[in-house]
A and B are shown apart, each in its own frame.
Chain A
Amino acid sequence: MTDTEPLLQVRNLETQFHTDEGIVRAVDGVSFDVYPGETVCIVGESGSGKTVTIESITRILQMPPGEIVGGEVIFDGIDLTTASEKEIRRIRGDRISHVFQNPQGSLNPVYTVGAQIREAIQANRDVGKKAAREQAIELLDEVGIPEAGARIDDYPHEFSGGMRQRVVIAIALAGEPDLLLADEPTTALDVTIEAQIIDLLLRLQEERDMAIVFVTHDLGVVAEIADRVVVMYASKVMEQGHVHEIFDRPAHPYTRALLDCLPGPDGVTPIEGTLPNPLDHPDGCRFAARCEYAIEPCFVGEHPSLLPADGDEDHLVSCLLYRDGHDESVIDREPRRADPFAVGDDT
């Protein structure tokens, strides 16, 4: 995988919000790569900056109050953070698409689903209304909506939540994107529908050979779909690596703690405390206050930078204990839970 060029490179991305209380550093120096055709999962608690990271990539974030203040997002040789409105508009929907969390609100209630899919087709391709309509029916059919030809003239309120999310996915596919950014696309759905939507995304990924960045706080989903995982906490990347590394030998105490939140033979072990205030991040490691392994140096200076864990260039961790002079062996890295997720070699 490292042999090919990355499709997307996020480098030291910094996104802030200007609020009445002060500046919120929602994304604070985040870096990761996405290779063609792979699935990268961004995991973390609510408020850790996952969504803002995703929405900074195509700059669909509301700006102002949001602002990208630093870093680069390289896609196809273009830095999207500095690209012109026109350039980025050409990429949106055509090369990079989004699927959002809330299928309830993602569709405009006053237009038929057909009109909204057609709009996505015609925004990127110079096709007539009729051809676009044909294409929209094909897309609806592809995302598994029965009797697509009849349903195309229905309004969003005539669809269930799961069906609406399928429509949103159809919209995202309209431009035949290379990269799909899915922001908790199944969080608002019930479990059976969630499984269907995930299956659909995986099937589409295979058929269309597109990369997916999947934002979630559900580690079960991560185990099922991810090739690689980026763990975020308090606007920073804590750890990233191959899904097997993350699940079987988590390096960062935060990742370890997250995995312990999953139900296991000893029940669940919640992480005590809450996320630090994003208006005023503490000195040192962002997780130190909640970390069971924290030592004095963890509370001073900057948040530790990402460095290889176990000397593996593909498995990065931002924890002082992995630096020279410290003993990372104090961290218990063996999985405690009986693995309820088949993280097989071929998922």
Chain B
Amino acid sequence: MSRIKQCFDRLRAEGRKALIPYITAGDPNPQMMLPLMHELVEAGVDVIELGVPFSDPMADGPVIQLAMERALAHNVGLRDVLDMVREFRKTNQTTPVALMGYLNPVEHMGYEAFAEQAAAAGVDGVLLVDLPPEEAEEVAPLFRSHGLDSIFLLAPTTTLERARRICENASGYVYYVSLKGVTGSATLNVTEVAEKLKQLRTITDLPIGVGFGIRDGASAAAIASVADGVVVGSVLVSQIAANLGDPEQARAGIAAIIRDMRAAMDR
């Protein structure tokens, strides 16, 4: 059974929801990644989404674009990201790690080579933002054969019919993008999300994580009341941007936000 499934099964049994932080690998520098990942776990996260830096992050807002630029300034590539996961696994064998990124770096490495090396490094799931299920007909089974979950996005614009097909190809969890826009957008309508999730529940038993627009304990708790997981990214990455000279401070800031969200979600 995949680490992601085990994690959601356990949470479901406990009546709790997953807290899923996103950070960009190598931001603000490669050395900070391991301490940050471990700090996230200590602060109470369940799954870590690790962003793979890409030169042209079309689906991301300015906060994550800049994070990727900072990581790329250290020349952090897909192989380096896999090394970070391998290091993380030396001391943590339980917290699932999903890679989130764009297709081109994976295509450049080669799908087979990537799947093999990612699985060997201890990666659990892969979300490629610009790889819709239509184009993933060969990739998803390949990933599955290496024990990697294929995580796909669902959007407010996704029809139910299409969502059904997407969920058939997905495993681990699906990621519902709560609003039309890029990462870091501002407004979140919990009632609309709840409505959409109710529909999605009729077609899939997969856990549903919700992201985009979640920035504090209150919004995390509101989403946790309707979803299986809460994905939070830009607000964490902003802490790094605000404390570029002081990584310790950035880590402390991120941990404080996570603890706040965790407490609000478990209340």
A and B: bona fide binding partners: no
